[in-house]
């Protein structure tokens, strides 16, 4: 007799079965409208696991076979993950090792879908995210060979659309991530002192998340007098901080896969007047942009509201706007590039989607300004995560918008 696996799902972030049923119904309604019999949802390493998390509530590399009718199947790319999925998650009962074309084709045949219309969902998005919507060529070619009677079509748009409006369960997870984000902020502020190494500040922020039940996530941090534009990723330097240094940071707090975005600037001692002016304009951009983030407002109006104070002040910007937020960043819709003072225009994230804000959209705010009359090599960062509620915009964390001085 097979040994019963422990119910580890009781001790890790898990969305309810009611959330699962409502989500699957929403996905299947879109599949039916598109004439799809099945979705094959890919996930990869390096953080490209958001779509499979959304469908199956598992964050592993592999493939989820999601039929219009019947039970989904998850194929884990890692044998060890296969055992943990069965112990940690309740959404999908049929979990198998090995996401090979042969295994997937065999499962499709079991469901009578070997000649069906199959929607392919890669990781990433070709229009509105940094990484292209891709899957492994060998896997795709193997499926074509194994399923000569099937029709394979691009269906990444379907999950982009389904994920755009957050459920009550997702908002709850985002607020839990927001508390992790505040603990990470506290760790940065308490450890940012002359003599403390940059890598120690990073480590303390990461520990604050992991020790409180968060997942490992992005921290882009730079320090110096002055810091360089935007934040850098690891490895971080062993240089001790000095009085007069400024720390700029963009980070995500991750609870059960759901991401809260924060950008912040901190000064060790009173900052120069040029930096105080950059931050004053950054705060104006933030408050003016957030103030118009209400249901029914055109997305273009939101982006222009963020840009207007910076353009009026003659500031330039690495990023200025909003990124859709949830299981990844950016999600649809997003726009942070472009604009009069923007340094990057030929990019999918410079496009302004022709849509209006709706209740329960969630956005990460990116305000990354520099003053070209002062320096083109240094600037500051400001941002938080905003929930577009029925009553208007709500900042999801308790982190101050003001320039932090320690």
Residues 370-397 pLDDT 10s: 999 999 999 999 999 999 999 999 999 9
The chain-wide mean pLDDT, for the chain, equals 91
In the predicted structure, residue 211 carries a pLDDT above the cut 80: yes
- Evaluate if residue 132 carries a pLDDT over 80: no
**DSSP string across 91-117:** S-SEEEE---HHHHHHHHHHTT-TTSE
- 95-104, 128-137, 362-371, 395-404, range with the lowest pLDDT: 128-137
Angle between helix 299-313 and 273-291 (nearest 10) = 160
Whether pLDDT at 180 is above 70: yes
Question: Which three-class secondary structure state does DSSP give residue 69?
Answer: coil
More reliable by pLDDT, 317 or 143: 317
**Token pair in block for residue 17:** 């079965």
Q: Where does 8-163 sit in CATH, by number? A: 3.40.350.10
Q: Write the DSSP symbol of residue 338.
A: -
The neighbour count for residue 69, using CB atoms within 10 Å, is: 11
Residue 131: predicted pLDDT: 47
Rounded Cα gap, residues 110 and 106, in angstroms: 6
If pLDDT is split at 50, 70 and 90, which confidence band does 12 have? confident
By DSSP bridging, strand 385-389 and strand 246-255 are unpaired
Q: Are 360 and 326 in contact (CB under 8 A)?
A: no
Residue intervals in the chain for CATH 3.40.350.10? 8-163
pLDDT tens per residue, range 145-164: 999 999 999 998 899 899 99
Provide mean pLDDT across the span 88-116.
91
3 state SS of 223? strand
Residue 123 has pLDDT above 70, yes or no: no
Task: Let me know if domain 168-405 sits in CATH 3.40.190.80.
Answer: no
The DSSP code for 230 is S
Show the tokens assigned to 271: 């900052």
Q: Which of 130-134, 243-247, 278-282, 332-336 has the lowest mean pLDDT?
A: 130-134
The b/e string for 151-187 (b: 16+ C-beta within 10 A; e otherwise) is eeeebbbbbbebbbebeebbbbbbbbbbbbbbbbbeb
| pTM of the model as a whole | 0.93
Residues of the chain with CATH 3.90.230.10: 168-405
Highest mean pLDDT among 88-97, 128-137, 141-150, 189-198: 189-198
* Residue 353, token pair as written in the block: 């989607």
pLDDT at 258 over 60: yes
């Amino acid at each position: 007799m097979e040994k019963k696996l422990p119910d580890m799902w009781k001790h890790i972030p898990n969305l309810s079965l009611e959330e699962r049923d409502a989500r699957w119904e929403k996905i299947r309604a879109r599949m039916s409208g598109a004439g799809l019999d099945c979705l094959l949802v890919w996930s990869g390493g390096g953080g490209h696991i958001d779509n499979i998390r959304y469908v199956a509530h598992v964050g592993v590399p592999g493939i989820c076979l999601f039929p219009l009718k019947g039970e989904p199947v998850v194929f884990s790319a890692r044998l060890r993950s296969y055992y943990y999925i069965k112990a940690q998650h309740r959404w999908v009962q049929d979990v198998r090792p090995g996401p090979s074309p042969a295994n997937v084709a065999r499962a499709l045949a079991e469901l009578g879908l070997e000649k069906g219309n199959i929607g392919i969902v890669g990781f990433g998005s070709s229009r509105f995210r940094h990484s292209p919507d891709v899957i492994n060529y060998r896997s795709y070619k193997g499926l074509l060979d194994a399923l000569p009677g099937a029709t394979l079509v691009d269906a990444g748009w379907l999950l982009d659309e389904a994920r755009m409006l957050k459920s009550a369960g997702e908002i709850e997870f985002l607020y839990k991530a927001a508390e992790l984000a505040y603990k990470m902020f506290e760790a940065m502020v308490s450890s940012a002192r002359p003599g403390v190494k940059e890598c120690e500040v990073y480590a303390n922020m990461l520990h604050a998340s992991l020790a409180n039940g968060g997942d490992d996530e992005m921290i882009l941090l730079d320090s110096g007098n002055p810091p360089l534009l935007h934040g850098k990723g690891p490895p971080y330097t062993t240089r001790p901080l000095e009085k007069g240094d400024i720390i700029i940071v963009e980070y995500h707090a991750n609870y059960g896969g759901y991401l809260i975005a924060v950008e912040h600037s901190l000064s060790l001692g009173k900052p120069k007047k040029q930096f105080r002016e950059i931050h004053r304009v950054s705060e104006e951009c933030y408050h003016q942009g957030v103030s118009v983030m209400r249901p029914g407002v055109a997305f273009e109006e939101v982006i222009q509201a963020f840009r207007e104070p910076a353009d009026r002040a003659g500031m330039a910007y690495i990023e200025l706007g909003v990124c859709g937020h949830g299981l990844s960043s950016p999600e649809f819709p997003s726009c942070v590039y472009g604009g009069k003072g923007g340094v990057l225009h030929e990019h999918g994230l410079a496009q302004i989607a022709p849509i209006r804000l709706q209740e329960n959209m969630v956005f990460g705010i990116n305000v990354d300004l520099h003053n070209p009359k002062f320096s083109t090599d240094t600037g500051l960062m400001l941002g938080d995560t905003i929930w577009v509620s029925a009553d208007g915009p709500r900042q999801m964390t308790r982190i101050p918008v003001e320039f932090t001085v320690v």
